[in-house]
Chains A and B, each alone.
Chain A
Amino acid sequence: MSETAIEALGLAKRYGRGRGWALRDCSFALPAGRVCALVGPNGAGKSTLLALAAGLLRPTQGVVRGPARTDLAYVAQDKPLHPQLTVADTLTMGRELNPGRWDGEIAARIVETLDPGARVRRLSGGQRTRVALALALGKRPELLLLDEPMADLDPLARHELMGALMADTAERGTTVVVSSHILTELEGACDHLLLLDGGRIRLDGAIDDLLAAHTLVTGPVEDLAPHTVVESRTTGRQLTALVRNEGGPVEGPWQTTSPSLEELLLAHLRASKTADRTPEGASA
């Protein structure tokens, strides 16, 4: 399990000289077999990171190392498919483009609710998502990169497709990176987290480890030193703070609980917003 599926070192991307950094100082290593949630607000750099990982964009700085083109599958946000092909034609194309590794059974299972003779241009957004995912999973990739795959699916379809995806990882150990700005879509399915904001990585690690490394503290407004406070808020006489468990357990007049994943993300996003307002150099 210590094998790395994809790794970035000092990765940065700027779309043109006069423009800001879409992604910067991005370094991480994702162990093989993980299902990684790539989360962050709109414009955080999620799509840029996925396109770089897929080898479709050239980095401005740094490197990203992952499996060869043939061993990865990437489903872009706009799900590019040939509009004139039928569902059945699209899967035939998938088989011909991936000789020797195509899994027609899993591809067929994902589109089984669709009319095989329907042309892609006639399909709804959610139906197109199914076809795009069928193509991606049929390829039996080592690494699957999905950019906001669930955005136009209803809750039932979302659940079914996430189930199909998890079954695939259970069976073949596929590494998955899936982006979303809605955490609840991914909670439960993912065991690893990459939190992006403003083009930078704010959190990176196994979800269990990240949760265990933080404590949510509520109680009277008092100095929390020596603990590292990620973010704190005061409402009247009540303090709510997220601290890192570095200096041992938090002792004092506070109530301590383990944060939920959502609480952890929100605290880090608020903290990174505050950091961005401070002058360059003081942040990061």
Chain B
Amino acid sequence: MLEYRIDRRSGVATYLQIVQQTKQALRMGVLEPGDRLPTAREVVEATAINPNTVLKAYRELEREGLVEARRGLGTFVRATLGAAPATSPLRGELADWARRARETGLTRDDVAALFTSVLDEHFEGDDT
């Protein structure tokens, strides 16, 4: 059973933390199609968050087609999430870019900030 870790100081909305951790579990193969997500009651008993927050996260996952609610039974995984494979040409280009960034004297933090700002620009408004 998936266990959610809620970080109240992270600045990330609690329901989004649940969405993100569920997606991470899908990417890592911890959750597979047919698996049941913990019930709202189970999640809130362990995390002391509001039940509506869990339901909001599950609705969001359902809207994205990743899970489905079956009345009286629970919420079940429908799909997996594939990450970009390690052999993808995109990864090679990014590695090449990171090497050049380092050669120009940028620190790890500089690169992370740059990458994040480009991500924000190109994926603005998208779901995480």
Which of the residues A163, A171, A191, A260 comes within 8 Å of B48, measured between beta carbons?
A163
Closest Cβ–Cβ distance, residue B48 to chain A (whole Å): 4
Indicate if the CB atoms of B11 and A162 lie closer than 8 Å.
no
User: CA A213 – CA B45 in complex, angstroms?
Assistant: 30
User: CA A49 – CA B117 in complex, angstroms?
Assistant: 48
A85 at the interface (CB under 8 A from B): no
Which residues of chain A have C-beta atoms less than 8 A from B14's C-beta?
Answer: 188
B50 at the interface (CB under 8 A from A): yes
Indicate if the CB atoms of A260 and B11 lie closer than 8 Å.
yes
Main secondary structure of the interface of A (DSSP, over half): helix
Indicate if the CB atoms of B8 and A170 lie closer than 8 Å.
no
Which residues of chain B have C-beta atoms less than 8 A from A184's C-beta?
Answer: 8
User: CA A191 – CA B55 in complex, angstroms?
Assistant: 13
Question: Which residue of chain B is the closest to A190 with respect to CB atoms?
Answer: B50
Indicate if the CB atoms of B50 and A162 lie closer than 8 Å.
no
Indicate if the CB atoms of A191 and B45 lie closer than 8 Å.
no
Closest Cβ–Cβ distance, residue A173 to chain B (whole Å): 9
Main secondary structure of the interface of B (DSSP, over half): helix
B41 at the interface (CB under 8 A from A): yes
Indicate if the CB atoms of A163 and B41 lie closer than 8 Å.
no
Indicate if the CB atoms of B8 and A166 lie closer than 8 Å.
no
User: CA A260 – CA B53 in complex, angstroms?
Assistant: 16
Which of the residues A35, A188, A190 comes within 8 Å of B8, measured between beta carbons?
A188
Chain A 23-56 per-residue mask, 1 if CB under 8 angstroms from chain B, else 0: 0000000000001000000000000000000000
Indicate if the CB atoms of A188 and B46 lie closer than 8 Å.
no
B47 at the interface (CB under 8 A from A): yes
Closest Cβ–Cβ distance, residue B43 to chain A (whole Å): 8
Closest Cβ–Cβ distance, residue B55 to chain A (whole Å): 9
Which residues of chain B have C-beta atoms less than 8 A from A159's C-beta?
Answer: 48
Which residues of chain B have C-beta atoms less than 8 A from A96's C-beta?
Answer: none
Indicate if the CB atoms of A187 and B41 lie closer than 8 Å.
no
Contact-residue size bin, chain B (C-beta under 8 Å from the other chain): 10 to 19
User: CA A159 – CA B53 in complex, angstroms?
Assistant: 17
Indicate if the CB atoms of A167 and B41 lie closer than 8 Å.
yes
Indicate if the CB atoms of A166 and B11 lie closer than 8 Å.
no
A266 at the interface (CB under 8 A from B): no
Asked, given contacts A188-B14, A260-B11, whether A166 binds B6 with beta carbons under 8 Å apart, the answer is no
B47, B49, B51, B53, most chain A CB atoms within 10 A? B51
Indicate if the CB atoms of A188 and B49 lie closer than 8 Å.
yes
Indicate if the CB atoms of B41 and A188 lie closer than 8 Å.
no
Which residues of chain B have C-beta atoms less than 8 A from A190's C-beta?
Answer: 50
Which residues of chain A have C-beta atoms less than 8 A from B46's C-beta?
Answer: 163
**CB neighbors of B among A176-202 (8 A):** 184, 187-191
Closest Cβ–Cβ distance, residue B14 to chain A (whole Å): 6
User: CA A163 – CA B3 in complex, angstroms?
Assistant: 14
Which residues of chain B have C-beta atoms less than 8 A from A170's C-beta?
Answer: 39-41, 44, 51, 54
Closest Cβ–Cβ distance, residue A131 to chain B (whole Å): 20
B52 at the interface (CB under 8 A from A): yes
Closest Cβ–Cβ distance, residue B56 to chain A (whole Å): 9
Indicate if the CB atoms of A187 and B8 lie closer than 8 Å.
yes
Which residues of chain A have C-beta atoms less than 8 A from B44's C-beta?
Answer: 163, 166-167, 169-170
User: CA A190 – CA B48 in complex, angstroms?
Assistant: 10
A224 at the interface (CB under 8 A from B): no
Which residues of chain B have C-beta atoms less than 8 A from A169's C-beta?
Answer: 44, 50-51
Taking Cβ atoms with an 8 Å cutoff, the residues of A that contact B are 35, 159-160, 162-167, 169-171, 184, 187-191, 260
- Identify the 6 closest CB pairs spanning chains A and B, nearest first: A166-B44, A162-B48, A170-B51, A167-B45, A170-B41, A163-B48
